[in-house]
Structures are given as structure tokens and as C-alpha cells.
């Protein structure tokens, strides 16, 4: 015969389950509110830092479209309260600066700032310093803009197997030939992109010293140091690499003011 349990013992169990369910629901709601508050704070900080970046670009006479700023790191509220941010990404487009002579516009410049210090009061008042321990920048110079700078009819640039390639129609000793070859790409001492076309040839080139001299003179004529716009945030060019989309320029700086008072 089955043993019956008193009904007064079942009620505490049911009551305990209800309390547990209620607690879990409250925790879920609280967690959602914290996540929402975290994201709202991130949005406010991103807009405040973007305003600071605009001011600094104006002070440095560097022109670009409106910067897009993204602040990373979770949770975000603790970073706001501490005034320390793990990582801030800044995307600039159509970067232009003042240089002597011709300059090549960077269609895009992606900036990665690490260990950024920006006090809550600085973000609130937009007065004070915002500094980054390290800043890395990556920009791309399109091959079309480089070809325009070289100013040779029909000349085209591209990339093959990690090398900068050139193709151009050339008139040598009365013959119309197609010149092809590659260039050595490096960074000069003054931070310019150095292009040296030392490996050119043309099918059908006459086996004559004058023909080879004409080809060498053409190579020297398109071997230039490309002046870049003055990069913001004290970025110094470290490396340049040919990629399918263009010449990718890598720059870096340390202990950089993202914005400064005054």
C-alpha cells in the first residue's frame, strides 16, 4: 500500500521553486539592463572620442572625412570609470595633408590605438588629454593614383607574387614596344615610399646599346619617391608592401596624444 505524504510538506517545495524561478528571472533582467547600459556608455564614449579626434586632426592640418570610432573591451563601464581603454579603432577616409610638392591621397587609413587613457571628466567636458600607449596605422595607395603621379601615357601598375609590376607602351628607336617589369619598393629615410624600377625589359628590344640606354632612362624616369600626406597622430611609415588592392603602408607611433588640451 502506497504511503501518503502530508500536503504541508509539498507546499515548501513548491514555494522554493517559485522563489528560484523568480530569482532567475530577476537575474536575467538585471543582466540585460547591464548589457544595455554598457552599450549606451560605449556609444557615448565613441562619439566623445570622435569629437576629440576631429579637433586634433584640425590642429595637425590633416584633412579627412568624419572619423569613425569604435571602442573595444568588455565590460565597458569599468573602462569608463577607470579612464583606461583596451583598444580604440579609428577609421579615416580620404586622408590629405600638407606636403612639399605633389602628394598622394590615402583613400583609407585604419588606426588601432592600444591602452588609451581618457578620463571620464575629459570625455564629459571635452577638455583634457587623450593619449595612447601605442598607435598602429594601415593605409592603401591605389595603383591608379600612383600611375597618375608617374604621368606616363598608358602606364599601368599592379601586383604579382608580392611584387609591384609595371606595363607601359614605349617608343624606342622608332619602334613601339611594351615595357614590362617589377620595382623595388621601400621606405626612404624621410618617410617617403621609394619606387625603383631596376628590372625592366621589352620583347623585341633591339640588341643595341642605344636601345638598352633608352630603356634604362625610361626606368629612371619612373623611379620616384612618393610623398605621402602628413599622417596624423605622429605616425611614421615603417613598411610598404604591394598587395592586389594597392600599396599598403604600415605606420606606427608610441605614447601618442589622440587629442590634447589647448
pLDDT in tens, 157-190: 999 999 999 999 999 999 999 999 999 999 988 8
The candidate with the shortest Cα–Cα distance to 232, out of 76, 111, 104, 51, is 111
Number of domains in the chain: 1
Asked if the structure places residue 84 within a domain, the reply is no
Non-local (6+) Cβ contacts of 222 within 8 A are: 150, 152, 155, 166, 168, 195, 197
Q: Are the C-beta atoms of 193 and 249 separated by less than 8 Å?
A: yes
Triad 159, 163, 169: Cα angle to 5°? 65
Task: Give tens-digit pLDDT for 58-117.
Answer: 666 666 777 787 777 666 667 777 778 888 888 888 877 554 455 677 888 898 989 888
Asked if the structure places residue 7 within a domain, the reply is no
Q: Which residues pair with 65 in a beta bridge?
A: none
Among the listed ranges 115-124, 184-193, 216-225, 228-237, which one has the minimum average pLDDT value?
Answer: 115-124
Non-local (6+) Cβ contacts of 143 within 8 A are: 156, 157, 158, 159, 246, 247
Q: Where are the beta strands (DSSP E) in the chain?
A: 62-63, 68-72, 84-97, 106-117, 130-141, 156-160, 163-172, 175-187, 193-202, 225-226, 236-243, 246-259
Q: At 145, is the pLDDT very low, low, confident or very high (cuts 50, 70, 90)?
A: confident
Asked if the structure places residue 39 within a domain, the reply is no
Please report the pLDDT score of residue 196 as a whole number.
Answer: 94
Asked if the structure places residue 160 within a domain, the reply is yes
Asked if the structure places residue 152 within a domain, the reply is yes
| Phi, psi (degrees; rounded to nearest 5) at 5 | -100, 145
pLDDT higher for 116 or 36? 116
pLDDT higher for 65 or 198? 198
d(CA 148, CA 142): 10
Please report the pLDDT score of residue 31 as a whole number.
Answer: 47
Q: How far apart are the first and last CA of the chain?
A: 90
As a whole number of angstroms, the longest Cα–Cα distance in the chain is: 118
Quickly count helices (H) and strands (E) in the chain.
5, 12
Please report the pLDDT score of residue 161 as a whole number.
Answer: 92
Domain that holds residue 196: 144-226
Q: Are the C-beta atoms of 234 and 253 separated by less than 8 Å?
A: yes
Asked if the structure places residue 208 within a domain, the reply is yes
The candidate with the shortest Cα–Cα distance to 181, out of 237, 222, 145, 134, is 222
Asked if the structure places residue 82 within a domain, the reply is no
Asked if the structure places residue 101 within a domain, the reply is no
Non-local (6+) Cβ contacts of 152 within 8 A are: 168, 221, 222
Amino acid at each position: 500500500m502506497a504511503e501518503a505524504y502530508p500536503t504541508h510538506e509539498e507546499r515548501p517545495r513548491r514555494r522554493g521553486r517559485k522563489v528560484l524561478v523568480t530569482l532567475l528571472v530577476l537575474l536575467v533582467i538585471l543582466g540585460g539592463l547591464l548589457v544595455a547600459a554598457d552599450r549606451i556608455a560605449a556609444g557615448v564614449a565613441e562619439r566623445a572620442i570622435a569629437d576629440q579626434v576631429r579637433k586634433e586632426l584640425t590642429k595637425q592640418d590633416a584633412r579627412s572625412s568624419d572619423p569613425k570610432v569604435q571602442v573595444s573591451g568588455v565590460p565597458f563601464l569599468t573602462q569608463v570609470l577607470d579612464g583606461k581603454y583596451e583598444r580604440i579603432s579609428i577609421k579615416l577616409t580620404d586622408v590629405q595633408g600638407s606636403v612639399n610638392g605633389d602628394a598622394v591621397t590615402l583613400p583609407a587609413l585604419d588606426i588601432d590605438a592600444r591602452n588609451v587613457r581618457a578620463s571620464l571628466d575629459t570625455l564629459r567636458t571635452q577638455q583634457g588629454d587623450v593619449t595612447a600607449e601605442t598607435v598602429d596605422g594601415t593605409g592603401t595607395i591605389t595603383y591608379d593614383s600612383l600611375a597618375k603621379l608617374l604621368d606616363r601615357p598608358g602606364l599601368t601598375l599592379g601586383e604579382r607574387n608580392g611584387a609591384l609590376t609595371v606595363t607601359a607602351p614605349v617608343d624606342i628607336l622608332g619602334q613601339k614596344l611594351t615595357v614590362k617589369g617589377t620595382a623595388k619598393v621601400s621606405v626612404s629615410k624621410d618617410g617617403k615610399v621609394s619606387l625603383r624600377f631596376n628590372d625592366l625589359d621589352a620583347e623585341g628590344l633591339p640588341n643595341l646599346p642605344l636601345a638598352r640606354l633608352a630603356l634604362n632612362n625610361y626606368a629612371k624616369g619612373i623611379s620616384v619617391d612618393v610623398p605621402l600626406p602628413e599622417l596624423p597622430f605622429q605616425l611614421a611609415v615603417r613598411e610598404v608592401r604591394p598587395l592586389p588592392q594597392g600599396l599598403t603602408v604600415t605606420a606606427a607611433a608610441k605614447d601618442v596624444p589622440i587629442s590634447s588640451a589647448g
